[in-house]
Amino acid sequence: MYPAEIVLPMKKELVDAGFEDLTTQEAVDNAIATKNGVLVVINSVCGCAAGNARPAAMLAAEHPKSPKLTTVFAGFDKEAVDQARKYMLPYPPSSPCM
């Protein structure tokens, strides 16, 4: 698990862009149940997340027809990430991921 002082600024980047930070299994289930669609971003500390995934997610959030925007953080919000990945099967786990 990554320390909070590393993760929190990276989480804040998406939260400040309008993403809901999901930290529990229940929060993930509730978000997935949204009727008008949901974008779940599995955020990460890696360079791929910083250089591509977060900027792409924030760009997508600007679209007028964007769905509910949510994020979980790999290596930090284990319960939420594990639950989100169940909905992404049969695709193998990856971080970052959308």
Annotated catalytic sites, by residue? Answer: 46, 48
Range 19-47 burial, b when 16+ CB lie within 10 A, else e = bbbbbebebbeebbeeeeebbbbbbbbee
